[in-house]
Structure 1
Amino acid sequence: MAAAGTSMEYRRLGKTGLKVSALSYGAWTTFKTQAALPEAKELIKAALDAGVNFFDNAEVYAGGEAETLMGQAFKELGTKRSDLVLSTKIFWGGPGPNDRGLSRKHIIEGTKAALSRLQTDYVDLLFCHRPDPDTPIEETVRAMAHCVDSGLAMYWGTSEWSATQILEAKHIADRLGVSPPVMEQPEYNLFHRDKVEVEFAPLYEERTGLGLTVWSPLASGILTGKYGGGAAPEGSRLALAAHKEKLETRRADIEAAARLAPLASELGCSMAQLALAWTLANPRVSTAITGASQVAQVRDNMGALGVVPRLTPEVLARVEAAVKGDKGGADKA
């Protein structure tokens, strides 16, 4: 069930001047695994047609092949580079001792390799994909700032860092007088909330603020309701070998998602649209990264923009009740 179409909303990335589409598209688990070049082009075109300008990737996705597919797709589609906000994430670049982590060597070499695969001179957003306990944060800050200063990236940030680590990186950057991290990419959905809503609260008002490019807003597809029957549909994310174990370990989440179905029906939207709209209702979220493997899913996801205005305090309270399993919840008339 698709809600009426709504034009794309563009939000500032934290306190920077960069505008990113509220809904974006990422290549994780999809490109190569579920989509070769013809399918990748169709998915990207559907996202572009909906007004998406932010496309997320990482050196580790499909061992770099996700970046290769994305770069070739944009080339064959003839997309104007300045119309795009592209990202990559650096940490897991290969099997060698210096092919992973956040040393100056790997950050600079890994970024240049990613740019080659993406067929672009720069990425707009460059992320440290995870914290690296083996590398001093000052070394990482200096290397990421170098990438910005040398034109390899426009902005840099982190992914799945703690608030303490981000603050340390900011303070080091301030002391050195170099570009600080301005965005973070955390997981954020109805089942995974504390980092964004509690831990990061002190960061949003820092000098540069903190833009959030959140991943897994549909909780690996669980919030679409597709797993309610107890099995993973063919072609779905949890049907992939790397994710099959989640079907049992996340049974409680699957049951909670099913309780949202009556509310989605009442609002005249799909469950995916309701879950995405809930994520976008948080003003701290700059963009929610979607990862559809079918064009129809891309189009349905974009309908979430039209659902956001319907999320009144009463509706949001019913969402909370349904997820927690409170009696009544989403079934309340």
Structure 2
Amino acid sequence: MEFRRVGASGLAVSEVAYGNWLNHRSDCVQAALDAGITTFHTAAAWPGAEESLATALDGVRRDDLVLCTGVFWAEGTGPNDSGLSRKHLVKSVHGSLRRLGTDYIDVYQLLRFDYQTPLEETFLALSDLVRQGKILYVGTSEWSAEQLLRAAPIAERYDVPFVVNEPHYSMLWRVAESQVMPVCERLGIGQFASVPLAQGVLTGKYRGGRIPAGSRAAGTEEQQVAVRGLLIPEVLDRIELLRGVADDAGLSLAQLGIAWTLQHSGVASAVVGASTPAQVTENAKAAGVRLDLDVLTRIDHLLGVVVQTDPRLTWSPPAGLA
């Protein structure tokens, strides 16, 4: 496993990180540890996710891990059970600490922008939690360039170590490249690349449009919604063309997809989920892979018009929909 610093901070994370959004298997976490992965992502609103991660990591030396969890989505039915208000942040942090069985969170992420809460309120609350030692670093997820520019000086004013943003970023989904990533580079903010395999589509498992048993497209309604928009012939046919590129590079399609995200200098880590330990082991081998210009050019040529680049698709829900 290779490691990178996050933005302008001194925090080192594994190039491949493990996320347990949809799958909470302890054997996958163990496979991640065996592969040298030290960075783990979860969230307070994902049912059972933090507890299952804590159970799987029981016995691992805490200082060897980078635990990332986040807040925004509803954790209850009350009017203060979602968003980025001081009340919800404080409650959510303490809940995450309890469920994770830890005294501190390495990277605490604001998982969407909250249009109903002033940024000053959010970052003042974060500042208090940082001073109390409950949070070490702060990040965002799916924030636009304009939102990041507004937040950075407020974070600096309140001494909040704002070090990372987590966009959806893959060979197919490059909406962060034109605005978000350049702004982050100027601000010293790194990137955690989320969904680098485009909900599993870039692994090639949906070859010919078939839906394998156990895949997200055959899973729960939430899983199906996450992947449905990518299961169209034009996308799947072009992904199939990438097999030759992967073969020439000595990689699987999944490894090619993860390695592609890691070619961007601003990306500190690619956050990947898995449903089997074998997938974790395969994904981890993308760490340290460097793709040459010819490979990158071939990928761009083969994917062509199915690549999404519109920065307006960086998404936070409208007010009231947290």
Check whether TM > 0.5.
Answer: yes
Q: Which residue, out of 167, 183, 191, partners 1:202?
A: 183
Other-structure match for 1:281:
263
Distance 2:176 2:113 in 1: 15
Q: Is the 8 A contact 1:256 1:322 kept in 2?
A: yes
Partner of residue 50, structure 2: 67
* CA deviation profile, 1:152-182 (whole Å, cap 9, x unmatched): 11001111111111111111233x3421421
CA RMSD of aligned residues (A): 1.6
User: Which whole-Å CA distance do the structure 1 matches of 2:227 and 2:151 have between them?
Assistant: 37
**What per-residue deviation string (whole Å, max 9, x for no partner) do you get for residues 110-143 of structure 1?**
0100111111111100011111111011101111
Give unpaired runs (5+ residues) of structure 1. 1-7, 32-39, 327-333
1:235 equivalenced with 2:219 (yes/no): no
**Partners of 1:41 and 1:203 in 2: CA distance:** 34
| Aligned with residue 322 of structure 1, among 278, 281, 302 | 302
Match of 2:86 in 1: 104
Q: After superposition, give the CA deviation of every residue in 1:217-254 in whole Å (9 maximum; x if it has no partner).
A: 00000000001221221111222222324665321332
Match of 1:220 in 2: 199
Paired with 2:145 and 2:98, the residues of 1 have a C-alpha distance of 32
User: Which of 170, 173, 189 is the matching residue for 2:170?
Assistant: 189
Indicate the residue corresponding to 2:107 in structure 1: 125
Distance 2:200 2:42 in 1: 19
Residues 264-275 of structure 1 mapped to structure 2, 5 A cutoff: 264-275=246-257
Cα shift at 1:52: 0.6
Residue 107 of structure 1: CA displacement?
0.4
Aligned-residue identity in percent = 41
C-alpha distance in structure 2 between counterparts of 1:88 and 1:154, whole Å: 12
Could you say which residue in structure 2 is the equivalent of 1:330? Answer: none
Q: Which residue of 2 aligns with 1:3?
A: none
Report 1:8-19 matches (<5 A): 8-19=1-12
Paired with 2:176 and 2:35, the residues of 1 have a C-alpha distance of: 30
Question: CA contact under 8 A between 1:145 and 1:156: conserved in structure 2?
Answer: no
What pairs up with 1:4-153 in 2 under 5 angstroms? 8-31=1-24, 40-62=25-47, 65-75=48-58, 78-92=59-73, 93-153=75-135
Going from structure 1 to structure 2, the CA distance change for 1:108 and 1:249 (only over 3 Å counts) comes to same
Q: In structure 2, how many angstroms separate the alpha carbons of the residues matched to 1:165 and 1:325?
A: 28
What is the distance in 1 between the residues matched to 2:178 and 2:215? 29
Rounded to whole Å, the distance in 2 between the matches of 1:120 and 1:161 is 27
State the alpha-carbon separation in 2 of the partners of residues 47 and 195 from structure 1: 27
- C-alpha distance in 1 between matches for 2:225 and 2:17: 27
Paired position in structure 2 for 1:37: none
Report the TM-score when normalising by structure 1.
0.87
Deviation at 1:23, TM superposition (A): 0.4
Paired with 2:161 and 2:226, the residues of 1 have a C-alpha distance of 36
| TM-score of the superposed pair, with normalisation by structure 2 | 0.90
Shift of the 114–187 alpha-carbon distance from structure 1 to 2, 3 Å rule, reads: same
Output the CA distance in 2 between the equivalents of 1:160 and 1:195.
9
Paired residue secondary structure (1:289)? strand
Contact residue 170 and residue 180 of structure 1 kept, 8 A: no
Instruction: Determine if contact 2:127/2:158 at 8 Å carries over to the other structure.
Output: no
